[in-house]
Amino acid sequence: FSEGEGRMTIFAAESNAATFDYQAGDIGFVPASMGHYVENTGNTTLRYLEIFNGDRVQDISLSQWLALTPPELVKAHLNLDDETIEKLPKIKPIVV
């Protein structure tokens, strides 16, 4: 994390998750094959560098994945209402 303040949640199967807060100068680690997401918790720009140890990286948008899942499944498992599900983006934003 090179600038700003953020929070990273690392998640695995069966509801296992851990959340950590970071600020500029901190280093985080995500074990191989675990999903994660980063949230800007400050009021300035958050900048961080991700480095992958491998020749193949796969990027999956959690919101896009939920938007493309049948709504009745999302409602049943996550207790989201129709209005919230309709707002989920069906196109993955490009992050550079």
The encoded tokens of residue 29 equal: 């680690």
Instruction: Give the model confidence (pLDDT) of 2-46 as tens digits.
Output: 999 999 999 887 778 899 999 999 999 999 878 888 999 999 999
Rounded Cα–Cα distance for residues 61 and 70 (Å): 16
Which is nearest to 39 in space by CA: 11, 4, 74? 4
Cα separation, 76 vs 33, in Å, equals 26
* Catalytic residue set: 50
Is the pTM higher than 0.75? The answer reads no
Tell me, what amino acid is at 69? T
pLDDT in tens, 50-62: 988 878 777 778 8
Give backbone dihedrals phi and psi of 39, rounded to 5 degrees, phi first. -125, 135
Q: How many CB atoms lie within 10 A of CB 8?
A: 19
